[in-house]
Amino acid sequence: MNWQPVDCHAHSTFSDGALAIPEVVERAAALGVRPSMSDHISRDVSRTIDSVDGVRQYLDTLDRYDVLRGGEFCYHDSLWREIPDDLVARFTHRIGSLHAIRLDGGTLLHVFSRRPIGGLTADAYMDAHVAWLEQFAREMPVDILAHPTLVAIPFRQTDAALLWTDAREDRVVGALFAAGIAFEISNRYPPPERLVKRAVDRGVRISLGSDGHTLEQVADVARPLALARKLGVPDSALYDPLAHGSKTHAELLDHKVRRA
């Protein structure tokens, strides 16, 4: 079969997506993309899978479809720490997200919060953001960091060159490389090309993610794929849990090799 891109990151009605799983699968097939489901598994998202039993039902449902079995876990929430090993092993891949950042004083700042954050400068925020990302990479056993450049709402309009200095980019890329965590090129929160290039040059694996929630969004990885190709990443090196294995389902790769 010809190579097809994998959308490692998409949502269904199991969390905050608009489509049922078969609709995501059908849309991906129409776009020539291999689909994943990666619904929110966290107690700190509004529409989400918020219990171990809920995770089991989710995986039981995914087993009925030809779809990669992912999940998007908030690092700051504790649910990912509570998933028993037998369930962990059923994911093809897991995604970690920084949906809240621990600030210097210990306060947790939700990146989607619209509450004013008096006195916090972009520099102070970014230093906390990168330190939190480094802690995430050391601690969380995931395969992909979702939307690596998603920042808190007050800083979304700030010039990326001010936020993503050379030093901060180096720290992000170094942390992901050391942990073996892939850098997601998100179609929803597109990263600056310079940062992606730095990740590629460092040897960090690249992953494509629509982060789609609707029919128009799911499985649309055309722009992320175009950027990866522009930066010289071979298609076969783009993260595919079935080809490259994962921290959560390491035996997949063995199995594939044994069958070959």
CB of 98 to Zn ion, least distance (A): 9
Torsion of CA 68, 71, 72, 73, to 10 degrees: -150
Asked whether position 240 contacts Zn ion by CB under 5 A, the answer is no
Strand locations in 104-201, DSSP E? Answer: 108-110, 144-145, 182-186
Between CA 94 and CA 71 the distance in angstroms is: 5
What mask, x for binding Zn ion by CB under 5 A, covers residues 146 to 165? x-------------------
Return the SS3 of 26.
Answer: helix
Q: What is the DSSP letter of 153?
A: G
Asked whether position 97 contacts Zn ion by CB under 5 A, the answer is yes
Residue recorded with tokens 């395969």:
143
CB of 244 to Zn ion, least distance (A): 21
Between CA 219 and CA 215 the distance in angstroms is: 9
Which segment (23-31, 92-100, 220-228, 233-241) binds Zn ion by CB under 5 A? 92-100
- In terms of CB distance, is 34 or 213 closer to Zn ion? 213
Between CA 128 and CA 137 the distance in angstroms is: 14
CB of 97 to Zn ion, least distance (A): 4
- In terms of CB distance, is 123 or 216 closer to Zn ion? 216
Asked whether position 184 contacts Zn ion by CB under 5 A, the answer is no
Asked whether position 211 contacts Zn ion by CB under 5 A, the answer is yes
Site for Zn ion in 190-209 (CB under 5 A): none
- In terms of CB distance, is 187 or 248 closer to Zn ion? 187
Site for Zn ion in 16-75 (CB under 5 A): 72
Asked whether position 246 contacts Zn ion by CB under 5 A, the answer is no
Q: What is the DSSP string of 202-246?
A: HT--EEEE--B-STTTTT--HHHHHHHHHTT--GGGS--HHHH--
**What is the contact surface with Zn ion in residues (CB under 5 A)?**
72, 97, 146, 211
